[in-house]
Amino acid sequence: MMWPWPDHAGTSFQIYHRGGRYRQSSERRGERTVSKNPGGKKNPLLAADRADRNRKIFIQVAVAAVLVALIAAIGIGVAVKKARRDDPGPSPAIAAAANQNASGITGTITDNGAIRIGKPDAKVTVRVVADLQCPACKAFEEANGKVLDEAVQNGTAVVEYNVIAFLDKASSTRYSTRAANASYCVAEADPSKYVSWVSAMFAQQPAEGGAGLTDDKLVQIAKTAGYPDSVASCITDVKYDKYIQARTDEVLNSGIKSTPSVFVNGKQIQSSQELMGPGGLAPVIAAAAAQ
């Protein structure tokens, strides 16, 4: 509520507002009140404040948009990498036609990636976990390669070769992976020649710390072992690269701590004489076959 309160001069009046405050009017009797902001001009201070506030809002929105885009890009990148990592690539398989040979020796690929070579009715299973770059594996092959070959040929044992690739850092060309890949390539073509191929590969094992054998050399070793020219593209393309990495991880995560790791009918051989002594596995295989 407010009302006029004449002053003594009679030329102006005071207005009383609720709250007990007074304001002197600028209007005199008979005169029209003059606006303090003629023409409705905007207050420059308010306009500047509003512009500054809008600019800050724009910056905040822009930063938020960039962050959302960045997070989305990172998420997509992670998803793509995961998809690539989870993609196992092609899996090796030995066709029935490859097992048609006079020797009766057949080959299969087990669930853990081992190349199983031998006659179906063999009583003994020898599992060999090896890396073709591993010097100790070469020593084992030199001591027992012929024993294993004879056991396969005469039907006493089947041999499961888990050829893994954990020594890629021992060469500048990922030789372990390339050699393991060649292992699958030749096994697919003719499993009956596989044991001889393994012996040939260890006989020409390159020294650690170098470039390893070239792809052309791997193809040459395969041909010398009696394999056809058709294995060349599989070897040079490293066809089973991803499969080898996945199987290597599985084998190492299963508890294998070193190579060679050798098992006869599921029992690990720990004796250095049986592993590295000339013909050391022969009595072990014979004893297992007699049971």
Per-residue pLDDT of 168-188, as tens digits, reads 999 999 999 999 999 999 999
Q: What DSSP character marks residue 221?
A: H
Ordered by where they begin, the domains of the chain are 1-29 (no CATH), 96-290 (3.40.30.10)
CA distance 179 to 138: 14
**Could you tell me where the beta strands, DSSP code E, fall in the chain?**
4-6, 13-17, 21-24, 106-109, 115-118, 124-130, 157-163, 261-264, 267-268
The predicted pLDDT at position 30 comes to: 43
Token digits of residue 205: 């094992």
Report yes or no on whether pTM surpasses 0.75.
Answer: no
Token digits of residue 193: 């020649």
The predicted pLDDT at position 64 comes to: 81
Alpha carbon separation from 236 to 178, 218, 225, 233, 277 (Å, rounded): 8, 9, 17, 5, 36
The predicted pLDDT at position 218 comes to: 99
Nearest alpha carbon to residue 224 among 196, 190, 252: 196
How many Cβ atoms from other residues are within 10 Å of residue 42's Cβ? 9
The continuous run of DSSP H or E covering 110 comes out as none
* Exposure string for 249-275, b = 16+ CB within 10 A, e = fewer: eebeeeebeebbbbebbeeebeeeebb
Nearest alpha carbon to residue 168 among 210, 108, 221: 210
CA distance 113 to 211: 26
The continuous run of DSSP H or E covering 210 comes out as none
For the segment 233-284, what is each residue's pLDDT rounded down to a tens digit? Answer: 999 999 999 999 999 999 999 999 999 999 999 999 999 999 999 999 999 9
- Are 225 and 183 within 8 A, CB to CB? no
- Are 126 and 262 within 8 A, CB to CB? yes
CA dihedral 80, 81, 86, 89 (to 10 degrees): 90
The predicted pLDDT at position 77 comes to: 62
Q: What DSSP character marks residue 14?
A: E
Cβ contacts of 252 within 8 Å, gap of 6 or more: 164, 166
The predicted pLDDT at position 23 comes to: 44
Alpha carbon separation from 105 to 36, 118, 145, 188, 211 (Å, rounded): 109, 5, 17, 13, 35
The predicted pLDDT at position 123 comes to: 96
Residue 137 C-beta-side C-alpha neighbours within 13 Å = 29
Residues in the chain where the model's pLDDT stays below 70: 1-45, 76-86
